[in-house]
Structure 1
Amino acid sequence: MAPNSTFTPETIAAGFHALSDPLRIQVLELLCSQELCVCDLCDHLGTTQSKLSFHLKTLKQAGLVSPRQEGRWIYYSLNLPQFVALEQYLAEFRRFSPILPIRSRCET
């Protein structure tokens, strides 16, 4: 795979870890259409603010969402460049790593 300075094992792992939870996926799907505050996300998801805060922290650490404060409210939106980075990372495998059938040791 060609080296790319934007891909570090830590950033890629954090991104895919953040995508590994159904509630976080739901948050991202809600944010696809508009920026939302925590209270709106809680209402849409039927979850508590403390539970949602934990998941938002994971999404922020992975760089998948961006917070914006307006007064006492914090609004969240998707950080699209990080999604592009994850997509490019996966595309590197598709482009440079041919998928070959597994060869049994017995066949050699």
Structure 2
Amino acid sequence: MKDNVKIAKALSDPIRYKIMLMLAKSEAGCCPIPGRENSRPGLCNCELMTELGIIQSRVSYHMKELVEAGLVTEEPRGKWKMYFINTKTLRQFIEQLNQDFALK
């Protein structure tokens, strides 16, 4: 299990929270990246930049935080990176929160 405090900190930033929502709701993206056909839903840097209205370096910073927290996985595709939500880590985090804070 990843560090719960690190995960909570990563999710506490409004931009990263929005990125997580975008990844959770992602379907087939519009980015023409080679090898993307028939792949799992995710988003590339350019889609995040466009939707969030921020420059590539800021997207990279936020994605680095999410990847280090274990909430997102990344996969290089040409000059871009594809990002995917890590549902296993997210579910474990939610389960741990429920165990730690659930009223019995």
Q: With structure 2 as the length reference, what TM-score do the two structures score?
A: 0.78
Partner of 2:15: 23
Structure 1 Cα separation of the partners of residues 99 and 62 of structure 2: 28
1:14 to 2:14 alignment: no
Partner AA of 1:88 in structure 2: E
Q: Which amino acid aligns with 2:44?
A: C
Identify unmatched segments of 5+ residues in structure 1. Answer: 1-5, 99-108
Give 1:47's match in structure 2, choosing from 51, 54, 57. Answer: 54
In structure 2, what residue type is equivalent to 1:24? Answer: R
Please list the CA deviations of residues 12-68 of structure 1 after superposition, one character each: whole Å capped at 9, or x if unmatched: 111001001000011111111221101110000001111111111100000000101
Distance 1:15 1:44 in 2: 23
After the TM superposition, which parts of structure 1 deviate over 2 Å for at least 4 consecutive aligned residues? none
Distance 1:16 1:69 in 2: 26
Report the Cα distance in structure 1 between the residues aligned to 2:86 and 2:100, rounded to whole angstroms.
23
5+ residue gaps, structure 2: 27-41
Q: Which has the larger radius of gyration?
A: 1
The number of residues matched between the two structures is 89
Q: Identity across aligned pairs (percent)?
A: 31
Q: Distance in 2 between matches of 1:94 and 1:16?
A: 14
**How far apart are the structure 2 equivalents of 1:25 and 1:50?**
18
Q: Tell me the TM-score normalised to structure 1 length.
A: 0.76
